[in-house]
């Protein structure tokens, strides 16, 4: 490959990964062509992109970026997966695919999260974390809980009083 072609590919990779802070490395070399097409389709439906790259060109393109540590020591066929809502959603989807029966030769090689290199075991651990949406719903529950408790306590006294007045009124109607 000529120096010009390498430079063009490196520039294209930099452009594609501009603004990407988290990515996972996977191995798709053992998959058959039809399985690879099906895998890419499933990932595209979830806004996840997959790109098979040459390690040396990826190292050159990510030098000095937060993705750089992912390619340190990378060898063999490597595909980069990025996208989804956050790194946790990405890790959950990739882990689901590696553990499933549809793509048995699909394996995780590691990745990078916030500039820190991840091993395949760490990717599995990240996949067990709550996603961004789940974290936001837990946070909203914690924010709204004291208000709901206070509201319930304030309304309880009035509801008890109304119930007692109603009972007294019913007793007087029965007596009359």
CATH code of the domain covering residue 116: 3.30.70.1730
**Domain match, 108 and 143 both:** no
**Domain match, 158 and 101 both:** no
Number of domains in the chain: 2
**Domain match, 106 and 149 both:** no
Q: What is the DSSP letter of 26?
A: E
The token duo for 153 is 């306590």
Please determine, for residue 164, whether its predicted confidence score (pLDDT) is greater than 90.
no
**Domain match, 54 and 118 both:** yes
**Domain match, 36 and 77 both:** yes
- pLDDT for the residue numbered 92: 93
List pLDDT tens digits, range 51-96.
999 989 999 999 988 889 988 888 888 999 998 888 999 999 999 9
**Domain match, 39 and 82 both:** yes
**Domain match, 84 and 154 both:** no
Residue 133: pLDDT band by 50, 70, 90 thresholds? confident
Q: Do residues 61 and 10 lie in contact, with contact meaning Cβ atoms separated by under 8 Å?
A: yes
**Domain match, 118 and 142 both:** no
- pLDDT for the residue numbered 82: 94
Q: Which domain holds residue 169?
A: 131-176
Q: Do residues 77 and 19 lie in contact, with contact meaning Cβ atoms separated by under 8 Å?
A: no
- pLDDT for the residue numbered 171: 86
Bigger pLDDT: 104 or 8? 8
| Contact residues for 96 (Cβ-Cβ < 8 A; gap 6+) | 127
**Domain match, 61 and 135 both:** no
Among 129, 147, 163, the domain-final residue is 129
**Domain match, 10 and 59 both:** yes
**Domain match, 137 and 124 both:** no
Please determine, for residue 153, whether its predicted confidence score (pLDDT) is greater than 90.
no
- pLDDT for the residue numbered 91: 93
Among 95, 114, 129, the domain-final residue is 129
User: Count of CB atoms within 10 A of residue 24's CB?
Assistant: 28
List pLDDT tens digits, range 14-40.
999 998 889 999 999 888 999 999 999
pTM above 0.85, yes or no: no
**Domain match, 80 and 9 both:** yes
Residue 44: pLDDT band by 50, 70, 90 thresholds? very high
């Amino acid at each position: 490959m000529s120096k010009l072609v390498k430079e063009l590919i490196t520039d294209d990779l930099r452009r594609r990964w501009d603004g990407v802070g988290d990515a996972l490395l996977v191995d798709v070399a053992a998959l058959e062509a039809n399985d690879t097409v099906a895998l890419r389709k499933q990932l595209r439906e979830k806004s996840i992109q997959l790109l098979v790259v040459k390690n040396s060109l990826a190292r050159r393109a990510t030098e000095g970026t937060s993705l750089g540590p992912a390619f340190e020591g990378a060898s063999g066929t490597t595909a980069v997966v990025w996208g989804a809502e956050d790194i946790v959603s990405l890790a959950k989807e990739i882990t689901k695919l590696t553990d499933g029966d549809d793509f048995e030769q699909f394996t995780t090689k590691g990745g990078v999260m916030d500039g820190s290199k991840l091993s395949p075991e760490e990717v599995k651990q990240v996949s067990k974390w709550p996603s961004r949406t789940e974290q936001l719903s837990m946070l909203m529950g914690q924010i709204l809980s004291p208000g709901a408790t206070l509201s319930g306590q304030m309304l309880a006294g009035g509801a008890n009083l109304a119930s007692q007045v109603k009972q007294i009124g019913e007793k007087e109607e029965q007596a009359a």
